[in-house]
Structure 1
Amino acid sequence: MDDLQRLEDWVAPLLARLSAPERRALTRTVARELRKSNAASMRDQQAPDGTAWTPRKNKLRDQRGAIRAKAQAMFVKMRAAKYLQARGTPDEAVVQFAGRADRIARVHHFGLRDRVKPGGPEYDYPARPLLGITDAQMERVRDLLMQHLATKG
C-alpha cells in the first residue's frame, strides 16, 4: 500500500490541473484497464499477484448423476461487466462487484464461512483474492496518466 500512496501523492498535483470532465475520462479509462486485468487474473484462476488459487473440490457426480470429467472454472459469470463493474468519477476510479456478486466475492476474497446454498450446510471457503493492484498495473496507470496529459497538454 505504500507504493499506492506514493503513486497517489505523485498524481495529485498533476490531476489538479485537469478539469472535472477530463479527470472523469481519465479515471474511467484507468478503471476499465484495472477491470480488464483483474478479470484476466480471475480467468486464469489466480490472485492478482500471480499465485494460483486453491482449487475447488471436484464433485464426482453432476445433477443428472453422470460422473463429471473435470472441475469447472470458478467465477465465469462474475467477471462479466454486469457484475464486475468499472466506473470513474472526477475523484476516483472504482472497480467493484455489484449486487449479489458482491457478497459472493467478499466470501471468496477473504475466505469466510458461508452457506453452500440457502438453508444448506456451512463451509469455510479458502481465500481466493479476486481484486487487487500489482506493480505492473500501477506502471500501466502511470502510463495512462502520462499519455492522457500528453494529449491534453
Structure 2
Amino acid sequence: MGRRVSSDLDALEDWAAPLLERLQPGERKKLARDIARELRKRQAARIKRQKNPDGSPFEPRKPQARAQSGSIRRKAMFTKIRQAKFLKGRGQGDAATVGFSGRVARIARAHQRGLREKVDRSGPWYDYPERELIGYSDDDRAVIRDMILDRLGSEL
C-alpha cells in the first residue's frame, strides 16, 4: 500500500503545484498549516477507531498466556500517542507534514512498519504486527483537494 499512497500523493502534488503558485507565500504557508492541522485531527480520529487507512481494523494485541492484572489490555491501543503532544501536524513553507515526535516516534515506527523491537530495555524481543498509524485514505486526499480549491476560490 505504501507505494500506491506515495504515487497518489505525488499525483495530488503535481495537480496542486500550479494552482498553489497563484497564492502569495504567506497564504501558501497558512494553507499548509491548515491542511496539516486537519490531517492530524483525521489521523488521530482514525487511530482512535483502531483502523488502518484502507479501513481494515488494526491487528489486535497478542493474547496473553496468563491473565494480567489491570485493564490496560482491554483498552484501545495508542490512546496516549494520538494526543497532540505526540502526534504533530506541521505546515511550513509549501509543505504539510504529520508525524510523531519524541520517544513515541520509535514506538510508532515499530508498529507502522511491523518491526522487531525489544519490549523493555532488558526484556524480550517481539515482532510487532504492521499497524498503519500514519497513512492517507481517499477521503483524506479529497479533504486536501477541497481545502485547496476552497482557498483558491476565496483568493481569486
Aligned to 2:135: 132
Residue in structure 2 matched with residue 3 of structure 1 by the alignment: 8
Counterpart among 85, 93, 98 of residue 101 in structure 2: 98
- Using structure 1 for the length normalisation, give the TM-score: 0.91
For 2:60 and 2:132, locate their aligned partners in 1 and report how far apart those are by CA, in whole Å: 13
Equivalent pair of 1:27/1:88 in contact (CA under 8 Å): yes
Amino acid at match of 1:107: A
Aligned to 1:62: 69
Identity of aligned residues (%): 46
Task: Give, as a single letter, the amino acid of the residue that structure 1 aligns with 2:31.
Answer: L
CA RMSD of aligned residues (A): 1.5
Cα deviation code 1:93-137 (max 9, x no counterpart): 000100111100000111111111111111111111101111111
The CA deviation string for residues 50-76 of structure 1, in whole angstroms up to 9 with x for no partner, is 11111003441226xxxx596211110
Shift in CA distance, 90/120, structure 1 to aligned 2, threshold 3 Å: same
Which amino acid is the alignment partner of residue 141 of structure 1? Answer: I
Give 2:56's aligned residue: 51
Q: Distance in 2 between matches of 1:62 and 1:118?
A: 22
Name stretches of at least 5 consecutive residues in structure 1 with no aligned partner. Answer: none
Number of aligned positions between the proteins: 149
Amino acid at match of 1:2: S
Alpha-carbon distance between aligned partners in 1 of 2:126 and 2:11, rounded to the nearest angstrom: 39
Instruction: Indicate the residue corresponding to 1:24 in structure 2.
Output: 29
Q: Which of 134, 138, 150 is the equivalent residue of 1:147?
A: 150
Alpha-carbon contact 1:56-1:71 (below 8 Å) kept: no
5 Å matches for 1:111-126? Answer: 111-126=114-129
Aligned-partner SS, 1:50? coil
CA distance in 2, matches of 1:69, 1:8: 41
Residue 36, structure 1, aligned to residue 14, structure 2: no
Counterpart Cα distance in 2 of 1:95 and 1:135:
16
SS of structure 1 residue aligned to 2:74: coil
Q: Which of structure 1's runs of 4+ aligned residues deviate more than 6 A?
A: none
